[in-house]
Amino acid sequence: MRLTRFTDYSLRVLIALAIDPERSVTIQAIAESYGVSNNHLMKIAHQLGRLGYIETVRGRNGGLRLARAPGEICLGDVVRDCEDDRAIVECFDPETSTCRIEPGCTLRHVLEEALSAFFEVLDQYTLADLAERKGKLRSLLGLPAPHRPRKSAATRSTTKH
């Protein structure tokens, strides 16, 4: 089975957002990070928003961010939601199948079992698992380091020895 580009880029957008879930990231920044079309990612972001995976933040620090914690986003669900057609072979759709051997063939059942196993594996992982190596991913994508609040002068003076 081969995932569509739409699903591939959807997973990439979610990974980019999972690196710093509290920070908003613009579509343009993600597009530049991956070297893909800004327009294509806009369509993907719209769909991910409709599916409840991301939300848009307006204003000065606006952009996209995850609508749920990375650990709550199951990879199997994302792939199921993004893949329109999971028919590996034409006999998966009896209405359009023209296969002559379908009534006596067991290939469909074998492939259905394989597809089920594929999703069982994906269901064991969340977006948090894909974003474990935050520092490495941030570096590879050219995303800024996480914002850390500066210590106040009073805090700095009391921590010096």
What's the pLDDT tens digit per position in 96-150? 777 777 777 788 788 889 999 999 999 999 999 999 887 788 778 877 777 655 5
Please, what are the domains in the chain?
Answer: 5-85+127-146 (1.10.10.10)
| 7 contacts 86 by C-beta, under 8 angstroms | no
Average pLDDT of the segment spanning 5-19? 94
Whole-number pLDDT of residue 65: 92
24: left (phi over 0), alpha (psi -120 to 50) or beta: beta
Full-model pTM = 0.80
Q: What distance in Å separates the CA atoms of residue 64 and residue 110, rounded to the nearest whole number? A: 40
- 160/130: higher pLDDT: 130
